[in-house]
Structure 1
Amino acid sequence: MISRADDLIDRRRLRRKLTFWRVAAIAVIALALVAISAWLYGDEFGGAAVDHIAKVRIDGTITEDDELIERLEKIRKSPRVKGVILAVDSPGGTTAGGEATFDEVRKLAGDKPVVAQVGTLAASAGYMIASAADHIVARKSSIVGSIGVLIQYPDVTGLMDKIGVKLEEVKSAPLKAEPSPFNPTTDEERAMVRKLIMDSYDWFVGIVADRRAMTKPQVLALADGSIFTGRQAVTNGLIDEVGGEDEAVAWLGTKGVDTKLKVVEWKDTGGHGGWLFSKALVRTASRLLGLPENSGDVLDRLGADRLFLDGLVSVWHP
């Protein structure tokens, strides 16, 4: 009896050891696959070891994004990138954010052919960035346009009166820190803001006129804040053709890019703390182990889009 009990204990110990080493082997294989895929394709690690067409997503609310600018710069310098697809799906955002990305895309287009592929929406600063590409493709039902700039601010003076709150202030000049939600807006303040708006609006219209080979009056006729479907945008000259990624790749082919090359998405690697702890590694390992791919991004997604945008904005719906 004692011998049989000892045998059972030994078998259980052996099973536990086998289970441990199986799990360890799976983990090692998963990490090896991640490393191999990163080396061969690099679709989530900022590059690839083979010639390819780079794809970059411009989505959500646009702000000044240092990581995106750096990624576009790496794409420009990569000898393996033969062409670039900007996948735009954005309602717009801050005017400065749109300008920064626009300038970087134009720099990129100086070295490699760039095509913009519009998904659901490319409005305001989103369209500004799309116009930086050498060619724009959009779906027939995509929304394009909303060329313009705005500033919005609340007026809470009525609420302050109701709850008995009064603001006291001392300032160097009447227009300092105006317009303010705590004071009724004066005509002088409105005039100051309008000058600001119209200067940026004139700059935006000039960008579209230059990039779309249109006259300023032609752009002004479209730049009243209107939005257009992809089909209307083709007719109005705001995009070049309707379609999706296939049409984008086909256009790159007219610029000498091999259309058989793999389209590799260059993503934000979340590269804080090195590749071992990067978001890209977590996402890839999650896929390999059958876990939800976005399980590590919940907090980032909750705060991804700014609820309040400071300063001038070029956005369809703030």
Structure 2
Amino acid sequence: MALDADAILDRRSLRRRLAIWRIGALGLVALLVVVAALGVFGRGGGGPGPRGPHIAKVEVSGVIFDDEKRQKLLADLAKSNAKGVLLMVDSPGGGVTASEDLYEAIRLIAKDRPVAAVVGTVAASGGYIAAIASDHIVARKTSITGSIGVLAQFPNFTGLLKTVGVQVESIKSSPLKAAPNGVEPTSPEARKALESLILDSYDWFKGVVEERRGLKGADLANVSDGRIFTGRQAIELKLVDEIGGEQEAIAWLETKGVDTKLPVKTWKPRQGPFSGFGAASLAAGAADAAGMHALADGLRRTGNALVLDGVLAIWHPSL
């Protein structure tokens, strides 16, 4: 009987310990979810970045979207102790407004230190807008650049809707409201209005190229018809300054008084805690469990810029 009593006590003690461990584990999971959520919702953008004199390296890659973290990073870089900047560009472009924001942010950085752009595989359209915000552009012989132009694309489903017997009706305050919309034939007036918007943005793009590259008249017209160019062609057309890569860009910074013995430090947008472990997914799972499905969907889209603004400066947007 004594042995049975001891066994019972041991089992009770074991159950208590297991209960404590389970509560602790649940608390840890809850804490991770909360911290992950804070990482998602917290203040975006880069931190203060590297301290002390240095050469900053910052990347502009992929399709250019509105990006608060990128803009915060560039604003911090403009106030930093970086003595020179390497802008590593590898982008086919993106939204016109996002490209304009990026251009202005880079020009602000360049007010207080020299900025050299290093073109990777491609710096076309909006990617080229980013590159010409720098003071010196270095590209490989086979880099793709140019594609100076603007476009707007929208699907037209009128044929399909007619085939399936669907007619979309609308009541508008004026004929050009929400036109073109893809569910009714595009009127000449709507097409002309959209064309006016495109041409105005195109004039802005050409104006930036004229200002930054010193191209005018026939020389500007020769490069601004939407074509792309290799690095070798671009240097002949004065779209880039030098053939090479990062080392050539650093050598140019030296000609502008930058001490090239300074460390080259990479600036990256600050990530939320546990971002490598799927912070957005963890927080989305918690939102789903709480029945907040719309919030969960939004979290899953966090960090995945799915929508470009309506007017594009992009090379091959359908790819």
Report the residue type matching 2:254 in the other structure.
Answer: G
Cross-structure match for 1:310 = 309
* Structure 2 runs not aligned, ≥5 long: 1-45, 282-298
Secondary structure of the equivalent of 2:63? Answer: strand
Cross-structure match for 2:202 = 201
Instruction: State how many pairs are aligned.
Output: 255
TM-superposed CA distance for 1:216, in Å, is 4.0
**How many angstroms apart in 1 are the aligned matches of 2:280 and 2:92?**
22
**How many angstroms apart in 2 are the aligned matches of 1:106 and 1:312?**
22
**How many angstroms apart in 2 are the aligned matches of 1:157 and 1:305?**
31
Given that 1:122 and 1:130 are in contact with CA atoms closer than 8 Å, whether structure 2 keeps it comes out as yes
TM-superposed CA distance for 1:305, in Å, is 6.0
Cross-structure match for 2:138 = 137
TM-superposed CA distance for 1:49, in Å, is 3.1
TM-superposed CA distance for 1:251, in Å, is 0.6
Given that 2:69 and 2:270 are in contact with CA atoms closer than 8 Å, whether structure 1 keeps it comes out as no
TM-superposed CA distance for 1:94, in Å, is 0.3
Report the residue type matching 1:187 in the other structure.
Answer: P
Q: TM-score, normalised by structure 1?
A: 0.75
Q: TM-score, normalised by structure 2?
A: 0.75
**How many angstroms apart in 2 are the aligned matches of 1:75 and 1:221?**
35
Asked whether 1:234 is paired with 2:239, we answer: no
Given that 1:61 and 1:305 are in contact with CA atoms closer than 8 Å, whether structure 2 keeps it comes out as no
Cross-structure match for 2:285 = none
Equivalent position to 2:65, from 63, 66, 69? 63
Instruction: Determine what percentage of the aligned residue pairs are the same residue.
Output: 49
TM-superposed CA distance for 1:217, in Å, is 3.3
* Structure 1 runs not aligned, ≥5 long: 1-43, 283-294
| Mapping for residues 1-318 of structure 1, pairs under 5 Å | 46-79=48-81, 81-270=82-271, 272=272, 277=273, 279=275, 296=278, 306=305, 308-318=307-317
After TM superposition, the runs of 4+ consecutive aligned structure 1 residues lying more than 4 A away are: 295-308
TM-superposed CA distance for 1:250, in Å, is 0.6
Please provide the CA RMSD for this pair: 2.1
Larger CA deviation: 65-74 vs 166-175:
65-74
Report the residue type matching 2:265 in the other structure.
Answer: V
Q: Tell me the alpha carbon deviations over residues 263-284 of structure 1, each in whole angstroms, 9 at most, x when there is no partner.
A: 11100112x4xxxx264xx5xx
Given that 1:209 and 1:216 are in contact with CA atoms closer than 8 Å, whether structure 2 keeps it comes out as no
**How many angstroms apart in 1 are the aligned matches of 2:183 and 2:103?**
35
TM-superposed CA distance for 1:220, in Å, is 1.6
Given that 2:138 and 2:243 are in contact with CA atoms closer than 8 Å, whether structure 1 keeps it comes out as yes
Report the residue type matching 1:313 in the other structure.
Answer: L
